[in-house]
Structure 1
Amino acid sequence: MRTTFTTRTVEYPADGLTMIGHLALPAGAGRRPAVLIGPEGVGLNDFQRGRADALAELGYVALAFDIHGGRWFTDPQEMLARTTPLLADPDRMRGIGHAALDVLRAQPRTDPERIAAVGYGTGGAIVLELGRDGVDLRAIATVNATTTGRPGEAARIRCPVWAGVGSEDPIMPPAQRDAFTAEMQAAGVDWRLVVYGGARHAFHHPPVDQDVVPGVGYHPRHAQRAWHDIVALLAECLPVPA
């Protein structure tokens, strides 16, 4: 069977750590549009690596970036001890996002003028902060991350924003979703919010053999629907040349 993409590990500094990202490259030799992929709070794992591979199969250069220096947290309390202060510090999140974006932009196959960002949970908050920092992205998609930013900074977002969240997500409840959409609307952002009925937090992620925080659960139908919505957003805002 013909190989349609190749992958390799990339190491780079960010947040005082050595990050270990997963780069997926489509077949061919020319420049292609690129997608940055941010993981949920537990860290980068095979799920996001697989998403990068799937996007490479579609013709994108894709980098699944790291947020914990190669660590994958199996203890929810240990994970929260790291992510809670991170999520409260927009500048730290932007630093992590910019470091990964620099790696992606530096790839010879990347068209640096045509980049989008997709993020899950903590990774979604990070890509939103890149938008609030005025980064020139073609699209931003987040799952389980209807997070708000510092007052007025959403006006610097320069691309469409798509957000997906479960209706039964206690971590991103209706009040948080309302605050997010009010922020986007006041800033004049081209935004969309999809609420997936009956889904909980991290509904996109297949079950893992470890303890998880309350309110987390996999919803296979909505996981597939959310992925289709993300791919459709990329096709609209960042089409791959024929």
Structure 2
Amino acid sequence: MADLTHRDVEYVLGETAMRGLVVAPANARALPTVMLIHDAFGLGEDMIAIAEDLAARGLTVFAADVWGDRATPTAQPEIGPLIGAMAGNRHEWHGRIAAAHRIASAQPEVDRGNIALLGYCFGGSSALEFIRTGGRARGVIAIHPGLDLLEDDWSEAAASGVQAYIAVGSIDPMATREQRIRLENALTAADLDWEIDVYSHTTHAFTSPKSQNSPHPELFAHHPRNASRAWRATTGVLDELFQTTGV
């Protein structure tokens, strides 16, 4: 792997202390940047590996810490209340994503005018909500986001020029056909450039190694082939957004 810099970045919103992570090529300055928003399991090894892969391709990555204190919950009894707290207090949820974006924009390795958001699961929902509520970025990539967490008013994103790429499973109970159609209609009404890929025989969290040997495969299960497809699509979108080659 290329010579990479890893640097913790502490930031605070209200009473919540968060510890994000910059991963970038050594001695990087003002590179195109991915703001990575973790899944329900927090900013752990899986997300850091994604950050390192993108940084090895010549990008700066700012990995947000949405839960605070770099928490990495491991089971539903821990995860459910965390997501519920955000869905039940959108001001706090949106504030944490906006705070991460502000802190990312202030880092010397980051080109503040050249930031794209990449989120997985809950992080994908977070990235879409950031754009929906008027946040600005070059693009947003949401991999198996919970569409059930999104609200429908995209008027603040209208004509923002954001390019949106979304990948979901065809049998994801958190991204049903009806929810996909509603999102398509909202993105179209907001005049965004969007693409939604739907993978057959695929449910929620299909890229996550933690969903291997799932106790509830009808709800979430790893799908290696479609995880690879989604990764190729992700890097392709980033290549287009940043007008680079080999990203």
Q: Does the pair score TM above 0.5?
A: yes
What SS does the aligned partner of 1:56 have? helix
* Partner residue in 2 for 1:36: 35
Equivalences for 1:115-126 in 2 at 5 Å?
115-126=115-126
Shift of 1:63: 1.2
What SS does the aligned partner of 2:210 have? coil
Q: Over aligned residues, Cα RMSD in angstroms?
A: 2.3
What SS does the aligned partner of 1:203 have? coil
* Partner residue in 1 for 2:15: 16
C-alpha contact 1:168 1:199 (8 A) present in aligned 2? yes
Equivalences for 1:125-136 in 2 at 5 Å?
125-136=125-136
Give the gaps of 5 or more residues in structure 1: none
Per-residue displacement from partner, 1:86-117 (whole Å, max 9, x unpaired)? Answer: 12443222211111112211111211111100
Shift of 1:208: 5.7
Per-residue displacement from partner, 1:38-73 (whole Å, max 9, x unpaired)? Answer: 111232211111111111111111011111112122
Aligned length: 241
C-alpha contact 1:87 1:122 (8 A) present in aligned 2? no
Shift of 1:157: 4.3
Greater relative contact order structure (CA < 8 Å, 6+ sep) = 1
Equivalences for 1:61-210 in 2 at 5 Å?
61-69=60-68, 70-145=70-145, 146=147, 147-151=149-153, 152-155=155-158, 157-207=160-210
Alpha-carbon distance change, 241 to 177 in structure 1, aligned in 2, over 3 angstroms: closer
Partner Cα separation in structure 1 for residue 215 and residue 74 of structure 2: 8
Give the gaps of 5 or more residues in structure 2: none
Mean CA deviation greater in 164-173 or 6-15: 6-15
Partner Cα separation in structure 2 for residue 215 and residue 140 of structure 1: 25
C-alpha contact 1:41 1:79 (8 A) present in aligned 2? yes
TM-score after normalising by structure 2: 0.88
Alpha-carbon distance change, 112 to 202 in structure 1, aligned in 2, over 3 angstroms: same
Per-residue displacement from partner, 1:110-135 (whole Å, max 9, x unpaired)? Answer: 11111100011111121112212323
Shift of 1:4: 2.9
Identical-pair percentage: 29
TM-score after normalising by structure 1: 0.90
Alpha-carbon distance change, 107 to 84 in structure 1, aligned in 2, over 3 angstroms: same
Partner Cα separation in structure 2 for residue 212 and residue 89 of structure 1: 30
C-alpha contact 1:203 1:223 (8 A) present in aligned 2? yes
C-alpha contact 2:207 2:224 (8 A) present in aligned 1? yes
What SS does the aligned partner of 2:158 have? helix
Partner Cα separation in structure 2 for residue 47 and residue 15 of structure 1: 28
C-alpha contact 2:212 2:222 (8 A) present in aligned 1? no
1:35 maps to amino acid: V
* Partner residue in 1 for 2:242: 238
Q: Is residue 56 of structure 2 the alignment partner of residue 45 of structure 1?
A: no
